[in-house]
Amino acid sequence: MAGDDAIQAEPLRLVATPAKGEVSALLLRPEDARFMLAFAHGAGAGMRHRFMDAVSARLAAAGIATLRYQFPYMEAGSRRPDARATLLATVRAAVDAARAAAPGLPLLAGGKSMGGRMTSQAAAEMPLAGVRGLAFFGFPLHPAGRPSTERADHLDRVGLPMLFLQGDRDQLADLELLRPICARLGARATLHVVAGADHGFHVPKSSGRTDGEVQGELAETVAAWAATVS
């Protein structure tokens, strides 16, 4: 997606919490944007990770602006995630910042792995103002090798449409466990399975596809789903 005419992300700052102070953010808004997504990173890599960069570019090409942002621990250079209250407060601050950055666009929220789960927990605790739907890029249903469903219990309290983008080789989400959860959530849940992809949406060469093609599939799926919830 790189090129001389590619749009550039605009660096921003937002206050995560009064105690933690400001964190960095990146606004990528194409001229033809039809939606805005507050896009959180996963536990082990920040907003500038190559997956976040690549998917944000693909989303922009599909008409979806993004506001990527750092959680305070990542901003500080730590690998240990913040306390849950701090993570949820940061999600709320980022959603507010995304809404302010594009007040005329329908607002979505979500993220990669932990970032998506924290967004859903924030929404379960209290509605996210203005958000029309949540998009999860690899919902981390359970730790690797320890299948369970407790991490999804809060989803029953989320009153928004939810899009689950999951690789069928994802070691953090057994599809045999996730499918019944989506069925339980009913019309609120849409499950899109990416053939051959792992938790990072990497596909092996034997699949006949590239990671870039998978990233394009993710963006196109989000755009099509967003059109149904806006």
Residue 126, domain extent? 10-229
- Residues 168, 194: contact at Cβ < 8 Å? yes
Q: What is the pLDDT of residues 34-84, one digit of tens each?
A: 999 999 999 999 999 999 999 999 999 999 999 999 999 999 999 999 999
Does the residue 58 lie in any domain? yes
- Whether 115 is in a domain gets the answer yes
60 lies in some domain: yes
Q: How many domains does the chain have?
A: 1
Rounded to whole angstroms, the Cα distance separating 48 from 156 reads 32
Please give the model's pTM, rounded to 2 decimal places: 0.95
Does residue 40 contact residue 67 with C-beta atoms inside 8 Å? no
pLDDT in tens, 115-174: 999 999 999 999 999 999 999 999 999 999 999 999 999 999 999 999 999 999 999 999
pLDDT value of residue 1: 43
In order, the DSSP letters of 34-93 are -EEEEEE--SSS-TTSHHHHHHHHHHHHTTEEEEEE--HHHHTT-SSPPPHHHHHHHHHH
Any domain includes 4: no
Q: Taking the C-alpha atoms of 154, 156, 160 and 162 in order, what is their torsion angle to the nearest 10 degrees?
A: 80
Looking up residue 30, the CATH number of its domain turns out to be 3.40.50.1820
Neighbouring C-alpha atoms within 13 Å toward the C-beta of 205? 0
Q: Is residue 104 part of a domain?
A: yes
Helices 50-61 and 211-229 pack at an angle, to 10 degrees, of 50
